[in-house]
Each structure stands twice: as C-alpha cells, then as structure tokens.
A and B are shown apart, each in its own frame.
Chain A
C-alpha cells in the first residue's frame, strides 16, 4: 500500500504518546504532509491520461465508426471473423472502425444499459422479437432505406423487420437446429435418418433395444430444452401458431400447448434421464461417445466434441402430424443493428449496409479457421464444411424459419418464466395442467 506516510519521526512508535502533541513540527513537515495527503487526489487525476488513452479523443468525428461485437478476443473463430470483417470494411471504405469486443454473455446481459448508455454505432445482435422490442422502444435506428440488400432474400428481410413494418436489422449468418448423429454409429447399426413419424419411432425403439439411449438430453443451463419445445410445437401446431404463441397472442394453457407437453412426456423415456443435472456439453459428449444415438441441438454441437465434425451428420426433426409436415425449423440469425444513441448515424448505416453484402461474409470466412453460414446467397461456400453445406441446403429448403424461443419472445418471459417452467416439467412430467396454467398466468402479466 502506498498510503501517504506522515513524517517519519512522528510515526515512530518509540515516541511516547504524550510527546507527540508537544513535539514541534517544522513548517516543512506540515507542507510535506499536506502535499502527501493531496497525492491521494492528485494520483487519481493522473489516471485521466490512462483512462482516456484507448480512445484518444476520437469522439464522434466523421469517418470513424464504433463497432461493438459480442465475442471477446481469444474465443477463436467467432471473434476472428468479426474482426476481419471490421478490418475489411476499414480498408474498403476508408472509414476508421473502432472495435469494442465484449464477451457474448456479458454483452447480452447488459444490452439494455449498453443501448441506453454510450453504445457503439453498429453492434452485433439477433433477428426476431428481441430486435423488434428495441425498435419499439426507439433504441435502434430504422434501416429501411438501406434495404433491399443484394443477395439477401425475402425470408431474411422478413426476419429483419420489426412490428412497425420497417427493417432495423442486417443479417450476416445463421445456424440451424436439427437432430445430430454420428455417421459411424448409424452405419454400424444399419440405421437411416427417419423421415416419417413411424420410421422415427421404430428407430428409437431399435436404439433402445440395442442399449443405446435414443436422445442425448441436458437442460442444466436452462435454454437447450427450449429447442425441443420449439420443434414439437412447430411440428404439432404449425409455424404460425408457434410464432403467435411466442408473441403472446395465444393461450399457454390451451389444448395446443398441452398437446406439446403431452407428446414431450411420451418422448421423455427416449431421452437421457435426469436432464437437469447435465449441461449440453456433457449431453453432447455422451452422443459423441456413442452412449446416445442422437442429439437435438444447434450446429455448435461440434464445439463440445473437440473434433472437426466429419463423423457428424444431421436430419431435420421428422413430421409428427402429416397435415402440418416438417418444413419449419429453428435457425437463429445473427447480424447487426445501428444504435439510436450512436454518434455517427450515417457512418453506421453505411457500414450496416456493407455488412449485409457477400463481400463482408467472405472477408469473415476467409480469415477464420471455421466459417459461419452466410446469409447472403452471393457469398462463397468454398470454405464450408460438409455440415455447413448441408445446413445451408436444409435451411434454404425450409418454408418457415423460427429464431429459437429466447429470441422469438420477450426476453424476460423466456428467461424468468419459460426456463423454470420447462425445468419444472422435466422434473415432474405428469403435472402438465399445473405447468401450463402457471405459464399462462405469468404470460398474461408479462404480455398484458
């Protein structure tokens, strides 16, 4: 501790206390004392230089765009791609891009204070309801004048549109949720990806007969089971019902939702038991080791296996109701918004438009060791892995794309109502009425 030291003589413990008060101090020691005491404050002002040096008075000067990204340096490809995109834009447009990298979870959790505080001009965000909420509150800038963007089709435009019919978002990439399996395990057992409900049930029964749990399953983190709810709801009640349920326009205690939970209850014996004590990474590992046959998850399942995914393949969840089919799936779209409180609105918009281009996607994919699946159809697919090529195909063929529950609905509803409710259901699958009526009660108070 560099606590200001009083003059040495007085501080010594050998001096009797009574002598301390009477001891004459020269004027110099008093001045020194005052100066040292002032140091505590003066020292702090030295900090100003340190505190401000990273930005260097760049402020809001034209030609500088602040770019906030939700991947911290060092996490690997996810950060490298965004950093490369920023660099490419800087090179191409001559605009200085100032990168602000914050880790994914912190960024997401503090997004509200971020947007209301001193946000960057352009920032990474998600399509769907969560973008729409910010648009309603006036926190993000209307981007309808930069749309349409070459190479982004109508479904992406739809995903970028808020409730008021204007676009507030520019997509760059996406990843699908599907049923993943090990090719080698399927080959060894002579299994094939099922397309109909009967095939699906027969496959799961066969797996159980061979001592393999059909579905790996973990919901300790709370969100992975949302994927199961989404896909069951879309298969049983259709995409349109799913979306209006997510928007709070349908009853959560109605027969449709009860049917979803009831079907899920019947499927649970095919899932790993006690999912609440297992993270998705552990579940993925048991699929990777062959203890489980399949795993319903996003393409990021590869990350947990510590391999390149060559032995992985996937199929979309088969149809459960032939009148509804299986042409809808979760494929969360990532992209960019322009913050309304950003200082360089024009620069931000110009950059956002470029970020939607094929050139941006290529710049990102060429610079990182793992590519994302570009939203822009013009983007090169030469760096894609087989899994990604297939992902692009499957998503391209899908008639309807949902964004995943925690992006399609109110963020508070997803995290404070749906996570505990689904976990409650998994703990006690027989009390469907109790779970659905409790969700409905809370949904009514949140959606009003």
Chain B
C-alpha cells in the first residue's frame, strides 16, 4: 500500500473519467451510471469485509436510501441530484447507526444471516405498505442539478453520470485513505484475529460498527443513484437477490484494491447487458459460472491481478479472501 497512488492523482483520474462521459454513446452512459452506483455499494461491502464480515443485506440500506429520497422528493419536491445523494446517504447512515452496534457482536455466517433477515423484514414491510405503493412501488420525477433542470435526455443522462462518477470516485478515494490509515489496518487485524485486537486495547465491536456505518452510508447513497437512474422504486431494492448481486461485485473485486471494485462493477454490467441482448435467460448462468471461476482461480479477486507482488508475505497468511479463518474468531 506504500506504493499506492497519491490522492491528487486519483482526483485527476476521477475528473478524467467524468469528462470522458462526454464522448461516450448514450447507452454506455446509463450503463456506467448503474455501474458506478453498484460500485459504491460494493465498495461498502469491501470496507466491511475487511473486518471479516460479509453483509448479505446491503439491500436494506440501498432500499432505505432509495425510499427516503423518493418520499422526500415526492412530498417536498426536492429534485436536486446532489441533495438527493446526501439524503440517501443520511437515510442509510442513520439506519446503519442503529443496526451496526447491534450486529457487530456476530461474525461469519451469523452476521450474514442476520443482515439478510433484517433486509427481508424491511422487504416484507415494504411489500405490505400500501401507502408506499406495495409491491409495485411508485415513480419519482427527473432529478435536477443546482437549480438547472434537464429536458434533453442526453444531458440528463450525462448529469447523472457525472454526479455518480464523482461521488463514487470520492468515496473510493476516501476508502483508499481509510484502508491506509491506522483504523483501516486495525480493521484488517479484526479479520485476522479479533481476540488479539481486543488484547491490544482496541474494541473490535467498535471497529466493526464504524465500518458497518460506512458501508450503510455508501449503500444509502447508492440507493439514491439507483432511484434517480430508474425514476422508480419498488421493494425489489431490499430483496435478498439484489443484495446478493452487490456481494457478487465485492467478491469479484476482492479487497486488495479500490479500483478493482469499479472494474468489477463495470464488467458485471457489461456482461449483464450483452447476455441480455444475445442470450436471454442466461445471464445468471453466466454470472454463476463467473463467480465460481473467480472463487476458484482468483480467490483474492480481480484486484490481485495487478497487486500481486506487493504483499508477498501476506500471500501465505491471508489467502481467505473476505473473512477470517474458520474458528479463529471466538
């Protein structure tokens, strides 16, 4: 991690990618928007996974962000894209603040099950709430930016693309800084052996809670983007297969590199749209085979393709990709 990019270089990269959107054809633009939004939530899962816990219920915060934004947009007419992202992040974050400390005690499979259960509770509640449109959901208007409204669909698409790439980019930079910080290294230590972390005077629960909160904030913001891109929301946001897809991106990316999350997310969206186009009803098949291949041949994700040599010594100790070794956690 010492040889990582300087944050200023990363900011320049984000700016370049944003401007490149001007040259992209329209269909890639909306694809890239979804990919950036999914990358944001997957990034949250990676942040959390560094503590050894995989959340199978990020759909909960995704839906909380989406519904929060949609309700505020429809009642108070808040259409500003940036404000919507902030609202989404706040909704996800508030929920994460409540839930995080409660489930920080769990690890491994129980952590996954509990997050899944909570997201399914939310799904069940959403389906039955007729005020929120039940299982059909409801529509919201087109987002604006700083008082400008976009009538040309191409301009609107680019605006959304720009906002999502910039927000996700900055989240990525923040995550990189976090990973290199003392706190980020302590998170890794929790994954390796949380008992020793406690002996060193740190609170493993607190570390997990904070990482959980970060993941929830990212998920909420990602929900806001998904809402703006689709201009429609329904309980499917909270369904477990939605969460599963985000975990998929995180596994594909591995926890070595932030850039890998973006690459993985974009790869997934490309695979999805091409198999939708040419092989209908098989994209889950492709996805499944892809996932098996990654787990089998790239256990540390596609990030390990270009960060192979940096941690020679950790190769031996850190082969399990996302979580602590079995039985290491009491």
A, B in one complex: no
Instruction: Spell out B's residues near A (CB within 8 Å).
Output: none
